A and B are shown apart, each in its own frame.
Chain A
């Protein structure tokens, strides 16, 4: 299948700096709106969920990825196709659980945190928590209930940024996913 030809005046590609700075404005606004970091984290996750629910349609239409048959295949698609498409990076996949229901995405660099320094009064803020919501929302639309959470973050002094993914269950087809 050929991809839709780009019009002369439009490209699907953009440089990531505007996204990074706009995301920073969003986080700043949420920190003003909510008194504590936990509420900001929750709201970022909720926003990310709503974004993921819509982004997955774009992703499936744009990539040639068919249905994944297991969580390992899903991990490959997330790391090698989706992150590359939407964030311009390819995280590595590590730390599989023996049962094959948990893995980690290791981001050597996270474009969302370019230009960002975490102030001391926001030590509990999970700055890029939108990404966890995006992952959860997108996977729910393909019938996978998962948990996604940051377990390492370079903004907090860790050597890498790590998102831990855990498969919870497959979602029955007759229960439509909805917005939170």
Chain B
């Protein structure tokens, strides 16, 4: 099968610092808008979800990823292709259970938090990078993979690494892997 035609003639590779600082401005705005950390976290996740549903179209159009046959394969594509493409990092992958539907992405470096030394005062429950959870969840849902995505560890909260837990909620079903039209 031939690759789908590119919608645009070129793909931009950019230094990520403008993105990271812009993300910081977004988080700061949400902290102004909402008193509670839980609300900021919720809106970051919601925004991320909307972004993920659109970003996955770009990803599928540009990568050579086709049908995946296991959750492990999907997680490896997220870590080695998607994170590399969109954030310039390659997280490590671990699997948590014998039914192999619970995984973690270990970010030894978290570019989104590069200019953040600590959480703002009075914001200890803030999940600064919660946009990423929404993005992953939204992208996976567009390819019919329901998942829970949460931060299990966060360097901004004193942990030694940043860890994103991904739990797939449904049994794998071949028929559902056709890309949405």
Contacts and interface: CB of A to CB of B under 8 A. Distances in A.
Q: Tell me if chain B binds chain A.
A: yes
Interface of A: 7-19, 21-26, 29-30, 33, 47, 50-51, 54-55, 58, 62, 85-89, 111, 114-115, 130, 134
7 tightest A-B contacts by CB?
A88-B12, A16-B12, A11-B88, A19-B19, A86-B18, A18-B86, A47-B25
B147 interface: no
A55 B17 contact: yes
Contacts of A130: 22
Given A14-B86, A19-B14, 7 more contacts: A9-B109, A15-B14, A16-B14, A21-B55, A33-B33, A54-B21, A87-B18
Nearest to A11: B88
A15 B51 contact: no
16 contacts: A9-B90, A13-B15, A15-B11, A17-B58, A18-B19, A21-B54, A22-B26, A22-B131, A25-B26, A29-B33, A50-B25, A51-B25, A54-B21, A55-B21, A87-B12, A88-B14
Contacts of B22: 19, 22-23, 26, 47, 51, 130
Contacts of A30: 29
A29 B11 contact: no
B175 interface: no
Interface of B: 8, 11-19, 21-26, 29-30, 33, 43, 47, 50-51, 54-55, 58, 84-91, 108-109, 111, 115, 131, 135
A29 B48 CA distance: 13
Contacts of A47: 22, 25, 29
Given A21-B51, A29-B29, A86 B11 contact: no
A14 B29 contact: no
Main secondary structure of the interface of A (DSSP, over half): helix
B148 to A, nearest CB: 22
A54 B29 CA distance: 18
Given A21-B51, A26-B22, A86 B29 contact: no
Contact of B111 (A10, A24, A54, A114): A10
Given A7-B109, A17-B55, A12 B16 contact: yes
Contacts of B13: 13-16, 88
B25 A85 contact: no
A136 B87 CA distance: 27
Contacts of B90: 8-10
